Amino acid sequence: MNKIGRLVTHPLFFMPMVFTPASLLAQSPFDGTWITEQDQSKPSQKPVVVSLNKGIFLCSSCNPKVEIKADGTDHPVAGLSFDTESVREIDAKKVAFTDKKAGKLLYEKTAILSDDGNTLTQKVIFHLENSDQTMNQELTFTRLEKGPAGAHETTGAWRLDKNTISENARTSTYKSSGEAFSMSTPIGVSYAAELDGKDYPVKGGMG
């Protein structure tokens, strides 16, 4: 079976992806629609360190670091794919995040702690700029360190163990035509490039 490796990114993690063909055309071994094999990807092992304590949310492992009030209102952040974030404590084991860019909703995230306190699940809904579809992602973390007494129970250091992404974000269609090559996805990411070594724009990219 033909396979092709490609680097796929999202705002927090970088993962190598392996694609297998859903359908192939005759023109080129690249032509056709390809779907990511998620079981071939290896999440980043860099610890994610977060804190929610005394009304302040802190992501010290984020680059750049994020430190804002956890009061459910939008606060400015810099250097990320979004420019404001709100953090709201739902209960002792759940925290909700909302990320926007220029006032437009980009991400809705909910962090949910397991009953034993050792597993953190983050469910993400991506609102895409160039598509009427949404992309869904579920991240599963294992606790490495606990937070200080009195902090929210999600506080601590976490290792990403599993990253599941909806199929519409794992599907890409490639087409070659003479000296041109193009890519498109169901979620509105695309490019059309000449095979001349020059830079061509990517439309609909997330961050």
**Which structure tokens are listed for 164?**
């599941």
Of the chain, the end-to-end C-alpha distance in Å amounts to 32
Can you name the residues that pair with 28 across neighbouring β-strands? none
pLDDT digit string, tens, across residues 150-199: 999 999 999 999 999 999 999 999 999 889 999 999 998 999 999 999 99
pLDDT at 21: 52
pLDDT at 152: 98
pLDDT at 12: 38
Residues of the chain with pLDDT under 50: 1-18, 20, 22-26
Residue 101 carries which side chain, given as an amino acid letter? K
Can you name the residues that pair with 20 across neighbouring β-strands? 35
Residue 201 · residue 191 · CB < 8 Å:
yes
Q: What is the pTM of this model?
A: 0.77
Measure Cα distances from 163 to 22, 26, 45, 136, 158 in Å. 21, 33, 12, 11, 14
202: DSSP letter: P
